[in-house]
Every structure is written in structure tokens, then in C-alpha cells.
Amino acid sequence: MTEAKKTLRLTQVKSNAGHPADQVKTLKALGLGRIGKTIDQVDNESVRGMIFKVKHMITVEEI
């Protein structure tokens, strides 16, 4: 039996205006870019690292 991969639902809740360019690029790499946009990402270490970098602009739910 294979285990189902965990998924995270990310929603951008703050604007990226006025934030450093590396944080804006991190949001873009996650698939976000505007307030209210929601995406699902696989839960792994690299995604968790990107989430940590922009945690003040997004909300995260485990699904």
C-alpha cells in the first residue's frame, strides 16, 4: 500500500508590495502573486522552507 502524500492549501492574505524581491519571487515560485489566490502544494521540505520565508503573507491549511 502506498501512503497518500500530504497536501497544503496556501492562500495569500497580504500584498507583496513593499517586500524584498526574494520574497516576491518566493511567492511566485509557490504559485501565488495576488491577494486571495489559493493553491495546493505537496508537503515537503523545500515547500516548507518557502512557506517559512513568506509566512507573514500567507495562510496554510493541511488537507
Q: Which residues pair with 40 in a beta bridge?
A: 9
The model carries a pTM of 0.86
Provide the number of structural domains found in the chain. 1
CATH number of the domain within which 34 lies: 3.30.1390.20
Q: Which residues pair with 61 in a beta bridge?
A: 9
pLDDT for 9-59, tens place per residue? Answer: 999 999 999 999 999 999 999 999 999 999 999 999 999 999 999 999 999
Cα–Cα distance measured from residue 49 to residue 52, given in angstroms and rounded to the nearest whole number: 5
Q: Would you place residue 5 in the very low, low, confident or very high pLDDT band (cuts 50, 70, 90)? A: confident
Asked, for residue 19, whether it belongs to a domain, the answer is yes
Asked, for residue 46, whether it belongs to a domain, the answer is yes
Q: Residue 4 pLDDT > 80, yes or no? A: no
- Are 39 and 31 a contacting pair, CB within 8 Å? yes
**3-state DSSP helix/strand/coil percent for the chain, to nearest 5?**
30, 25, 45
Cα–Cα distance measured from residue 25 to residue 47, given in angstroms and rounded to the nearest whole number: 13
Asked, for residue 18, whether it belongs to a domain, the answer is yes
Q: Residue 1 pLDDT > 60, yes or no? A: no
Asked, for residue 40, whether it belongs to a domain, the answer is yes
Domain that includes residue 56, residue range:
7-62
Q: Residue 2 pLDDT > 70, yes or no? A: no
